Structure 1
Amino acid sequence: MLRVLVVDDDFMVARVHSGYVERTPGCAVVGTAHTGAEALRAVRDLRPDLVLLDVYLPDLDGLTVLRKLRADVSTVDTDVIVITAARDVETIRGAMRGGALHYLIKPFSYPALREQLEHVTALRAKLARLSERPSAEQGDVDDVFGARSRAKDALPKGLTEPTAALVRQALLEHPDGLSASECARVTELSRPSARRYLEHFVEAGQAEVKLRYGSAGRPERQYHWRG
């Protein structure tokens, strides 16, 4: 069970994010906090596996909380995902350098958070298995740090990360799947462009195709995000 602490200054937002966590199999909310001081105290007392950490808090900002968690030997093993409306590069850089596993920009959908919760669960399982061995091989290290997946997911020439993120989000928000035409309407891309990104995700193993049969004519390719 992945034990999660939700930190957000907005009580309603904290409730929504807590609901997202509780909806995810294998995850449970062990507490909520609404200030930086409460967050630090809760991590020490509750020892969660993961903190969903807002940046804009009324006393300490989230990045300061993150640095304090990393500096305290009793809380250094708690993983952190930053959840914030901040889009500036300095905040993103600070989260990376502070050791955050990921950075979600508000508002985000349940599937976007679910994907990260599943990633953290898988990562902790990999590390647990490695701890049972006398030593790790390079392939094991690459698997933990994601080197192989980064190479696999590298965008082909002509595709851009912002547009890839747009198509990825569209698939996450439509778990029943999208055709290329439907994806184009949702993302406001041309159909050929949408299809290129969809096919890239299929080749990278991040999406899968199912055939949708209509009343007449050829079956339509329907793309589903794998998860």
Structure 2
Amino acid sequence: MSTPDAPPPPPPPPAPPSGGRELGVLVVDDDFMVASIHSRFVERAVGFRVVGVVATGEGALAEVERLTPDLVLLDVHLPDVDGIEVLRRLRAAGNDVGVVMVTAAREADTVRAAVAGGAAHYLVKPFEADDLLWRLEAFRAARAALEGAVRPAQEQIDAAFAPGGRTSPAPLPKGLSRETAGTVLAALDGGAERSAAECAELVGVSRVSARRYLEHFVADGQALVRLQYGGSGRPERRYRRA
């Protein structure tokens, strides 16, 4: 009696963007269940991983010092030191770790204090995974814009500042997913210029799907495209970050 074929192994997890390391995220929230949900959201983002979860402001300061994360998801309402004070203390100590305020607080003074403290984004609870994912993508893009640059050009500086200025992601065309979009866009990080076929191979989607995402990013202003001529065939479309 023949045995059924074994199911194929699951595909490997996507590699960090442009072959770089994953960005570590510290989640700070005094509600255990909320912190767990936010941690799961982060783990869905390509190129990010949760390195710690704490429930207090003092704990956040200690873990930032110990773990040196790249990004902190920071609640405002904490049982000891509020998130704005944590942000101020980090900056006063010369720590430029990325901070995304993740909170139910929406008072104008609190938002202004977060901006003055150098928070990259301010996300009001409750929110969906996509609301956080595109902000993580924007944070990564801003970091990538200056990687390896001692004296960055104006366009690199603009790219470092531009992602934080967006208030909402452009809607994706029907049939495209926000998670796959983030993975495709990440393939252009670090100044890479790629064709749709190259992106498709990196991400694990079809060339047609990759091109749909890439053309969306061009229309949205997040990517640029140029035609590369060579041989007798049609010119190749090459994409890079805007």
- Give the alignment's TM-score, normalised by structure 1: 0.64
Higher relative contact order (CA 8 A, sep 6+): 2
The answer as to 2:92 corresponding to 1:92 is: no
Seen in structure 2, the aligned counterparts of structure 1 residues 17 and 141 have a Cα distance that, compared at 3 Å, is same
Seen in structure 2, the aligned counterparts of structure 1 residues 22 and 202 have a Cα distance that, compared at 3 Å, is closer
1:74-126 Cα distance to aligned partner (Å, 9 max, x none) = xx131100001111110100000010000000001101111111111121111
> Which runs of 5 or more structure 1 residues have no equivalent in the other structure?
154-160, 178-200, 208-227
Specify the alignment match of 2:26 in structure 1: 5
Instruction: Tell me by how many angstroms 1:136 deviates.
Output: 2.4
Runs of 4+, deviation exceeding 3 Å = 174-177, 201-204
The answer as to 2:159 corresponding to 1:140 is: no
Mean CA deviation greater in 115-124 or 33-42: 115-124
The alignment of Structure 1 onto Structure 2 pairs a total of residues equal to 163
The answer as to 2:73 corresponding to 1:52 is: yes
Instruction: Tell me by how many angstroms 1:129 deviates.
Output: 3.0
Residue 142 of structure 1 aligns to which amino acid in structure 2?
D
Q: How does 1:73-222 map to 2 (within 5 A)?
A: 73=94, 76-131=95-150, 135-146=151-162, 171=171, 176=175, 205=220
Residue 110 of structure 1 aligns to which amino acid in structure 2?
A
Say whether the 8 Å CA contact 2:25–2:49 is kept in structure 1: yes
The answer as to 2:30 corresponding to 1:15 is: no
Instruction: Tell me by how many angstroms 1:176 deviates.
Output: 3.9
Instruction: Tell me by how many angstroms 1:17 deviates.
Output: 0.2
Specify the alignment match of 2:57 in structure 1: 36
Residue 85 of structure 1 aligns to which amino acid in structure 2?
A
Query: Identity, % of aligned pairs?
Result: 47
Distance 2:48 2:158 in 1: 26
SS of the equivalent of 1:128 reads: coil
1:179-222 Cα distance to aligned partner (Å, 9 max, x none) = xxxxxxxxxxxxxxxxxxxxxx9996169xxxxxxxxxxxxxxx
Distance 1:115 1:47 in 2: 23
Q: How does 1:61-72 map to 2 (within 5 A)?
A: 61-72=82-93
Say whether the 8 Å CA contact 2:23–2:71 is kept in structure 1: yes
Report the RMSD for the aligned CA atoms in angstroms. 2.8
Residue 104 of structure 2 aligns to which amino acid in structure 1?
A
Distance 1:3 1:175 in 2: 32
Specify the alignment match of 1:216 in structure 2: none
Seen in structure 2, the aligned counterparts of structure 1 residues 87 and 117 have a Cα distance that, compared at 3 Å, is same
Distance 1:91 1:77 in 2: 20
- Give the alignment's TM-score, normalised by structure 2: 0.60
> Which runs of 5 or more structure 2 residues have no equivalent in the other structure?
1-21, 177-215, 223-242
